[in-house]
Structure 1
Amino acid sequence: MCGRVYIKTTLEGLFRDFSFARREADAEALANQFPRYNGAPTQFYPIIIRDVIRDPDVFGPTFVSARWGLILRWIKEQRPGRPPPINARCEGISTSGMFKDAYRRRRCLIPIDGFFEWKDIHGTGRNKQPYAIAMKSGEPFALAGIWETWRDPATDEDIRTFCVITCPANDMVAAIHDRMPVVLHKEDYERWLSVEPDPYELMKPFPPELMTMWPIDRKVGSPKNDTADILDPIDPTL
C-alpha cells in the first residue's frame, strides 16, 4: 500500500513543473501547507484532474485541492472507525463496485517528490524499517489516482477526495514490500486524464533503474514529525 508521501517542492514549484495544468483557487490556497515532508491521509493535496463529464477541451487539466481518502459520492455519512480507502488496487479496478465509476470518469494525477514504505524486518509486523523512495533525477513525479466529490450532509459542503492506485512492486521496491503506487511516465499524463475508459496498461511497475530508495529514521511513523530531516538517510544497522 501507499500511505505516506512527501512534497519537498513548494506549491509554486509544482505549478511550474506541471505547467500544462491551470490552477483553481482552492489549490492555490494550499500554498502555506507546502513543502510537506511527511504527508498522510486525511490531509489536503494539490491534484490534477480533467473534467471529462462536462467538456474536456474547455475544462482541461487543472490543479485542484483534494483530501486523501476516497469517499464515494453516494455515501450518506462517514461511519466512525471506518476510514475511507486511501489505495485502490489496479487489479480489478475497472469492475470494482467501489472504484469502477471513478476509474472510468474521474482519474487524476497526484504530484509528489517521493513516498515512504516500510520493510517488515522479522515478519512480525512489530519492527519495521521505513524507506524513502524517489526518482534518481530528484524531479517531482505523478502517481495515478481516482477522485470523487462528496457532499457532507452535516455542512452541505462539497468535498473532493482521492485515493492512490497501487500495482505489484518493481524489482527495487520488492526488496521491502510487495506493492507500490502506480507511477506514471510524463508522456502518459495526457492519456491517463483522457476520456478513455480503461487505460489499463499504464498501471504497471515503474522502471526500477529510474528510481532510488534509502532507509530513514522511524520518526516518520508519526505525521506530526514534518521536517526536512525526515528524509536524511540513516544506517539501519546502528
Structure 2
Amino acid sequence: MCGRIVQASPSELLALGLVIGEGLQAGAGQPRFNGAPGQELGVVRRHPQTGRYHLDRLLWGLVPFWLADPTGGRRPINAKAETVRTLPSFREAYARRRCLLPVDGFFEWQQMGRGAKRPHAITMRDRAPFALAGLWENWRHPETGTWIRTFCVLTSEANSLISAIHHRMPVIIPPRAYVRWLSGEADPADLLASFPADAMALWPVSTRVNSPANDDAALLDPAADAVVEDRLL
C-alpha cells in the first residue's frame, strides 16, 4: 500500500535530471508534505516521440483510457507488481506508459488493534530523494475533448524494515534504472523487487498526517514517544 507521499525537495528534479542525463522540462507545482490521492503531483514521463523527459502534474488515481465515464468505477492509487502485467486496468500502461514519482518519503500505517492505526514516515537513510515506480494514463472526454491525465504507484511485498508495520511497500526504482524504467522495454520485471531495507529509515509520526488538510514539514517530526533505534531513525 502507498497512500501518502512527501514531494517537497527541489533536489528531486536535479537528482532525476542528472541521472537521466539531461535537464527536465518541469511544470510548476506546490511542495507537498502530505500528498494524497486525488491531488496533482509531479510525475516524470518520457515523451514517446521526442524522447525528452518531462515533470508534469498528474492526478493520483488511475483512470484507464478505455473507461466510459471517469466518475464511475474505481480509480486505483496502487497496482500490485505481481499482477500488473495481466490485469486489464494496468497491462497496457505497464507496457507503454511507465513513469517515476519523485519523493522525499512516504507514510504508512501500522495496525495497532481495535481499529487504531499508527502512522510512520519512511525515507532513505541519508534523506536523499528517490523515485517510486508508477503508471500513467490519458482519458479524453468524448464530448468536450478535455484530457484527464492520471497515475498510480506500483507496490510489492514489504522488505524486512517495512514488514514490521505493513505487508506492502511501493516499488522503488534505483537511479541506475531510471532510464530503463522510462524506456520502451515491454516488461522490465526484474525492477519490481522490494528495495533493500538497509538503505531506508522508518519512524512513528503524529496522527496529524491522517488528514490531508495538514500539509507541513512538521508531519515528518518523530512522534513524542518514538523509540530511536539505529535502523529506524
Hey, what does 2:76 align to over in structure 1? 85
Unaligned runs of 5+ in 2: 228-233
Hey, what does 1:64 align to over in structure 2? 56
Deviation at 1:153, TM superposition (A): 4.5
* In structure 1, distance between residues paired with 2:28 and 2:132: 22
TM-score (norm 2): 0.90
Aligned residues: 224
Select 1:50's aligned residue among 33, 46, 50: 46
Pairing 1:37–2:33 present = yes
1:101-140 alignment, distance < 5 Å:
101-122=92-113, 124=114, 126-140=115-129
* Contact 2:12–2:130 (CA under 8 A) maintained in structure 1: no
CA offsets per residue over residues 14-69 of structure 1, 9 Å max, x none?
Answer: 32222235444xx4232xx11x11110111111111133xx3xx323222221100
Read off the aligned partner of 1:79 and give its amino acid letter: T
* In structure 2, distance between residues paired with 1:146 and 1:236: 37
Moved over 3 A (4+): 20-24, 152-155, 235-238
Partner secondary structure for residue 44 of structure 2: strand
* Contact 1:77–1:153 (CA under 8 A) maintained in structure 2: no
Hey, what does 2:197 align to over in structure 1? 208
Deviation at 1:7, TM superposition (A): 1.6
Hey, what does 1:194 align to over in structure 2? 183
Hey, what does 1:175 align to over in structure 2? 164
Unaligned runs of 5+ in 1: none
Query: Does the C-alpha gap of structure 1 residues 172 and 199 become closer, same or farther in structure 2, counting only changes over 3 Å?
Result: same
Q: Percent identity between the aligned chains?
A: 42
* In structure 2, distance between residues paired with 1:161 and 1:152: 14
Deviation at 1:199, TM superposition (A): 0.5
* Contact 2:101–2:134 (CA under 8 A) maintained in structure 1: yes
Select 2:215's aligned residue among 211, 223, 226: 226
Partner secondary structure for residue 96 of structure 1: coil
* Contact 2:203–2:226 (CA under 8 A) maintained in structure 1: no
Hey, what does 2:6 align to over in structure 1? 6
Deviation at 1:155, TM superposition (A): 4.4
Hey, what does 1:98 align to over in structure 2? 89
Partner secondary structure for residue 18 of structure 1: helix
TM-score (norm 1): 0.88
* In structure 2, distance between residues paired with 1:29 and 1:62: 11
Deviation at 1:235, TM superposition (A): 3.8
